[in-house]
């Protein structure tokens, strides 16, 4: 997400890098590269499959690196698709979605003509003079569609985690398990792959991990079909044993295709990354620090001294990212649930006086309040954020927050609400102004 565009995601904590989170709690003994040996020594708990044929009696340890089946769904040219649904006359034409001076995304017709995501409007027009541009600064329709997709996916499994507006991870391990149990002993021959297999790897129906992933590919196909039939959207899916691998593999064939990763091809997938900055979970700051240690490729990270890495980055981050470099990612798919905060923001680029800035602030507040009222839950905190321009890639943010007095919360949805929120805002505006965040 480029900071110059309008930020599309209110659920993320601002400027926190992913790698700062500590979420790796797995016993390292239980981990092994997904493509590495599949040890059955790991956790005591094991899931026993129906004991019909030899393959049925294979036991997959519940905590082993390959145990889970995770689908990553990424919609194609998301904002552009939403625009084409709203304006069917744009279908088939090269279309770009503009925020400020950037084309934040474009449809695949435009991509064929050389337009790329995050190109400046000027460059895009130069590449493709017939490009049709629509303004994408109002995120309302994208946000609404985004939640519809997540809700639809929740019908397949309750364990759905949103990532941005157009990506979702779904843990379908339980669903796969159920389908496996429903199969008759001689039915494995009917388990076929849907979509591509990464590396064109041949599939072994005598390997229970392969069978599980193939069933995963069938469920992923059903998900994509439902998204298309019910919402009119196409997207890509990746099926693998963890979040990292499913995300990496989902982009292999685009648009409107899906790919499953068999464990044996894990190292090839990881090795296909040109630079560690392409590794999901390694953010901007960590990339810079790794580069200063001479680590540029995934292979560099794999062979780097763990002790030095731990000293430089702290034990938790060092261990986590070194595992990522081997394709290991034990982070759970964490159900997102309803958003924990709503935010509205603007770059204020068009404002050149205080009066204009105030007007913009009022617009932002009105939008925010409208969304809060629609949601129905009572917010408890309001936060104002200001981002000052900096020549660095990152903008510095400062924020102040305060609880919303309970008498104001009670009034929400009544006539006085505007006035009350306006007052809370005014008290802090002089110091901070510009951007608001409203935390539940
Ligand atoms: P992406 O999934 O990166 O892109 P996409 O869905 O448009 O295209 P693809 O087919 O390659 O997946 O981003 C999702 C949406 O987020 C995108 O439609 C527009 C928006 N977006 C921004 O607002 N700013 C950004 O910097 C990027 C990359 C995307
Ligand atoms: Mg996308």
The atom number, within ligand 1, closest to the CA of 7 reads 23
* CA 58 / ligand 2 centre spacing (Å): 37
- SS3 category, 268: helix
Could you tell me if 236 and 251 are in contact, meaning their C-beta atoms sit under 8 angstroms apart? yes
* CA 77 / ligand 2 centre spacing (Å): 5
pTM for the full model?
A: 0.78
Indicate which residue's Cα is closest to atom 22 of ligand 1.
Answer: 104
Could you tell me if 13 and 31 are in contact, meaning their C-beta atoms sit under 8 angstroms apart? no
Active site residue 167: yes
* CA 233 / ligand 1 centre spacing (Å): 14
The atom number, within ligand 1, closest to the CA of 79 reads 18
Task: Tell me the helix, strand and coil percentages in the chain, rounded to 5.
Answer: 40, 15, 40
What is the predicted pLDDT for the residue at 392? 62
Q: How many other CB atoms are found less than 10 A from the CB of residue 292?
A: 9
- Active-site option among 7, 14, 109, 167: 167
The atom number, within ligand 1, closest to the CA of 6 reads 23
Could you tell me if 267 and 327 are in contact, meaning their C-beta atoms sit under 8 angstroms apart? yes
What is the predicted pLDDT for the residue at 308? 97
Q: Which residues line ligand 1 (CB under 6 A)?
A: 1-2, 5, 8, 74-79, 104-105, 117-118, 165-166, 254-255
* CA 210 / ligand 1 centre spacing (Å): 32
Indicate which residue's Cα is closest to atom 20 of ligand 1.
Answer: 104
What is the predicted pLDDT for the residue at 350? 82
Which ligand neighbours the alpha carbon of 253 most closely?
A: 1
The atom number, within ligand 1, closest to the CA of 81 reads 18
Radius of gyration of the chain (CA): 24
Q: How far is CA 210 from the centre of its chain?
A: 26
Which residue among 9, 78, 149, 259 has the greatest number of ligand 1 atoms within 8 angstroms of its CB, and so is best to mutate? 78
The overall average pLDDT reported for the chain is: 81
What is the predicted pLDDT for the residue at 29? 26
What is the predicted pLDDT for the residue at 309? 98
* CA 46 / ligand 1 centre spacing (Å): 40
The DSSP-derived string for 164-204 is TTTEEEEE-HHHHHHHHHHS-GGGGGG----SEEGGGPPP-
What is the predicted pLDDT for the residue at 320? 97
Which residue among 73, 83, 104 has the greatest number of ligand 1 atoms within 8 angstroms of its CB, and so is best to mutate? 104
The DSSP-derived string for 327-395 is T----------S-SEEEE----TT--SHHHHHHHHHHHHHHHHHHHHHH-SPP-EEEEEEEE--SSSSP
Which ligand neighbours the alpha carbon of 139 most closely?
A: 1
> For the chain, which residues score pLDDT lower than 70?
1-66, 185-186, 390-395, 413-440
Indicate which residue's Cα is closest to atom 23 of ligand 1.
Answer: 104
What is the predicted pLDDT for the residue at 46? 24
Which ligand neighbours the alpha carbon of 74 most closely?
A: 2
Could you tell me if 384 and 345 are in contact, meaning their C-beta atoms sit under 8 angstroms apart? no
* CA 189 / ligand 2 centre spacing (Å): 34
Could you tell me if 384 and 425 are in contact, meaning their C-beta atoms sit under 8 angstroms apart? yes
């Amino acid at each position: 997400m480029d900071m110059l565009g309008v930020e599309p995601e209110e659920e993320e904590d601002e400027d926190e890098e992913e790698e700062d989170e500590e979420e790796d709690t797995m016993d390292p003994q239980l981990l092994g590269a997904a493509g590495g040996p599949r040890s059955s020594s790991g956790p005591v708990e094991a899931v026993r499959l129906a004991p019909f044929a030899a393959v049925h009696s294979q036991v997959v340890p519940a905590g082993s690196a390959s145990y889970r089946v995770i689908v990553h769904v990424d919609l194609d040219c998301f904002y552009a698709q939403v625009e084409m649904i709203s304006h069917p006359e744009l279908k088939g034409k090269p279309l770009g979605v503009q925020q400020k001076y950037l084309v934040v995304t474009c449809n695949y017709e435009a991509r064929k003509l050389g337009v790329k995501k995050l190109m400046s409007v000027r460059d895009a027009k130069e590449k493709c003079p017939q490009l049709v541009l629509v303004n994408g600064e109002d995120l309302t329709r994208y946000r609404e569609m985004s939640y519809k997709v997540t809700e639809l996916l929740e019908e397949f499994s309750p364990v759905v985690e949103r990532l941005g507006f157009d990506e979702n991870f779904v843990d379908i391990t339980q669903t796969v398990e159920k389908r496996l149990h429903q199969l008759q002993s001689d039915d494995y021959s009917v388990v076929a792959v849907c979509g591509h297999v990464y590396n064109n790897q041949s599939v072994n129906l005598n390997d229970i991990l392969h069978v599980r992933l193939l069933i995963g590919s069938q469920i992923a196909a059903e998900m994509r079909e439902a998204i298309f039939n019910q919402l009119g959207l196409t997207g890509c899916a990746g099926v693998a044993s963890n979040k990292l691998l499913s995300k990496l593999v989902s982009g292999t064939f685009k648009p409107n295709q899906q790919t499953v990763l068999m464990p044996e091809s894990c190292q090839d997938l990881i090795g296909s990354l040109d630079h560690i900055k392409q590794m999901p979970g390694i953010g901007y700051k960590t990339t810079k620090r790794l580069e200063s240690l001479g680590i540029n490729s995934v292979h560099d990270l794999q062979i780097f001294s763990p002790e030095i890495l731990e000293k430089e980055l702290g034990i938790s981050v060092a261990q986590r990212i070194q595992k990522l470099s081997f394709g290991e990612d034990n982070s759970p798919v964490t159900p997102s649930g309803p958003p924990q905060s709503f935010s509205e923001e603007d770059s204020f680029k068009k404002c050149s006086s205080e009066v204009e800035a105030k007007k913009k602030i009022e617009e932002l507040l009105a939008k925010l309040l409208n969304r809060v009222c629609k949601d129905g839950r009572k917010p408890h905190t309001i936060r104002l954020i200001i981002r000052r321009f900096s020549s660095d890639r990152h903008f510095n943010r400062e924020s102040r927050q305060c609880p919303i007095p309970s008498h104001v919360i009670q009034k929400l949805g009544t006539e006085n609400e505007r006035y009350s929120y306006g007052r809370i805002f005014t008290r802090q505006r002089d110091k901070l102004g510009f951007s608001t965040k409203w935390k539940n």
